[in-house]
Structure 1
Amino acid sequence: MAEYKTLVDPETGEKHDRAVVLAEGDRITSERQREEYRRIQAQTNGRAPEFTVTNMHNIDEVIEKVSDKHCGYLLYLQCFVNYDAILSNPDKTAMSREDMMRTLKVSRSTVYEFLAEMTAAGVMYEDGDRYKLNPRYHFQGRTDNTAVVKTFVAKVKALYSEVKARDLGFVYKLLRYIHLETNTICANPYERDVENTLPLTKEDIAQVTGLTEKSVYTKLRNLKFGDQYVFAEVVYGKYRYYKINPFIFYRKNGVPDATLREMFSIRNNFAKKAM
């Protein structure tokens, strides 16, 4: 579990009464480190896309306790977490239950139900009049852990505007299966040798998500926002397997390689050709 200590930054002497020490050597500590993270995100021609971080090793604990719909809300609310794990409005103020209701575009009773499940599961907790995400699962900041997935804020916001929360919850359940090098949904996402990757079929995905094969196949083929698809189907002889859009979810640093970029723009390229 996340551990809370008073730490002293060795370079500045700054104390951090609630510094968060994460599993796998992750940590969110000083403002100096936050500034360094922001500097790394900045690019020559502007800022890199904003993202939050999901710990792949730990989200099984969330999935076991949280409904699909609420996993979808959780994935969307990650877009509003700050470096102190506080859910915040665009004006930087802490997000209240009423703010959460407006952000999620749901009723007051739905928010109460969601928060009750989140806090009971230890995924979120109240800190005075603020709500925080447990950084054991999701946070914003740099990490040395490679078993994480970056979630790009602008893309998830766009996706939430066009799909149901349960569909977003389906996507959430697959984050733990994203391969580092290829973005393939696979059984061994930490395998370094791509020749040994074990892709999940639609039947496998149905089993790990608890849905019917028909429902899974519909989502894999049709989930999209604007002209962006969430998944790409790869046909190899009699086999079919799936990759997740690297412009929405990605594990590596930098930009996706040319093959992945082409794969998720190819439908648009065909559409342009037909015009």
Structure 2
Amino acid sequence: MTNIRNVLKVRNIPENLVPLQGVKGIARDPDTGYTYKYESEIDIERKKKFAKMNSNRKQNKFTNTNMDEIDYICQSLTNAQIGYLMILQCYIDYGGKLIHSQKDKTPLKTGDFLKILGLEDKRQTFYDFKDKCLDKGILIYTTEEETYSINKNYIFKGAFKGMGVVSVVTKDIKEGLKGNKPEELAMVFKLQEFVNMRTMALVKNPNETDLNKLEFMKQKDLAAALGVSAAYLSRQLYQIEINGEYVVAKIKVGKEPTKFMLNPNIFFRGDYAKVQVTIAVDVAPFFKVRKKN
């Protein structure tokens, strides 16, 4: 990190104006009357990271889930079917149509779905999933074009207004398909309903902006929300890995109850680049999977 004294010397700023770390603002030199705008080294480093994340934004593709509709999806589909839907959301275009990729906009056909979902030997499982989604209005079939789309009321790609949306980095969910069962991805999908915008903590009041008023989910709350036992959480949920990182972090401080957090490198609320700098950079060590030697 750049030595602050050298910076001051180059800028011809008196050392008595050096701010405390984490502080920024305007200072006045009592001898000359000149004013200076200053930033701490911490703030300067964060700005650099923000700029880097923002420049890479186009490389990160996102899809968005309407938090208000998560309950409807979960009530309409089985856990495995929720997992399949979560995988398919990585293949939508800005109109909701299911396509191969942003470069290859050819609509997905039955054979493509079977391959993507790993159901080539379980065709009936796919048809049951497809029919249930169509019946519940989660999937839409356009006869004229012979294409399938995900209903944009539930999951969509592109800009949005308001706070009730959780976004996901699609390349990571695609990666998650390789190492996790659809039922496990379903648990992660359900957790999106409880993500706080400012902290990525799992709470009962996810839209609360006053951090002193957050109602953190306890393990029993998570188990009840997911419809599983606490033992199952320990065996399955906390062990889910995607792209070399755990999806859920358990944070224990002193005598406080354990708090839970969703990985902001994979899921986020609001602006991706900002979340990476203000949250993800600081909590990254909690999610890294240590490989055994």
Give 1:256 deviation, angstroms: 2.5
| Contact 1:188–1:197 (CA under 8 A) maintained in structure 2 | yes
Residue identity opposite 1:193 in structure 2:
D
**1:137 match:** 154
Partner in structure 1 of residue 210 of structure 2: 193
1:55 to 46, 52, 66: 66
Question: What's the counterpart of residue 101 of structure 1?
Answer: 114
Asked if residue 244 in structure 1 is aligned to residue 267 in structure 2, the reply is no
Q: Structure 2 length as normaliser, TM-score?
A: 0.74
Residue of structure 2 equivalent to 1:3: none
Equivalent residue, structure 2, for 1:89: 100
Over 4 Å off, 4+ runs: 266-269
In 2, the alpha carbon distance for the partners of 1:208 and 1:268 equals 26
1:264 is paired with a residue of what secondary structure? Answer: helix
Asked if the contact 1:162/1:225 (under 8 Å) is kept, the reply is yes
CA, structure 1 residues 46+246, in 2 after alignment: closer, same or farther (shift >3 Å)? closer
Change (3 A) 1:256 1:46: closer
Query: Could you say which residue in structure 1 is the equivalent of 2:281?
Result: 261
Aligned position for 2:76: 65
Residue 24 of structure 1 is matched in structure 2 by none
TM-score (norm 1): 0.79
Change (3 A) 1:132 1:267: closer
Question: Do 1:232 and 1:264's aligned partners in 2 also have CA atoms closer than 8 Å?
Answer: no
Determine which structure has the larger strand proportion and give its number.
Answer: 1
Counterpart in 1 of 2:38? none
2:179 is paired with a residue of what secondary structure? coil
Indicate the RMSD between aligned Cα atoms, in angstroms.
2.1
Structure 1 unpaired stretches of 5+: 1-41
> 2-side partners of 1:235 and 1:174: how far apart?
19
1:227 has 2:238 as partner:
no
8 Å CA contact 2:172–2:243 kept in 1: the answer is: no
Q: Is the 8 A contact 1:202 1:217 kept in 2?
A: no
Find 2:198's aligned residue among 173, 178, 181: 181
Q: Which 5+ residue runs of structure 2 have no aligned equivalent? A: 1-52
Deviation of residue 227 (structure 1)? Answer: 2.2
* Structure 1 residues 11-30: aligned runs within 5 Å: none
| Corresponding residue SS for 2:167 | strand
Q: Does the CA contact (< 8 Å) of 2:248 and 2:287 recur in 1?
A: no
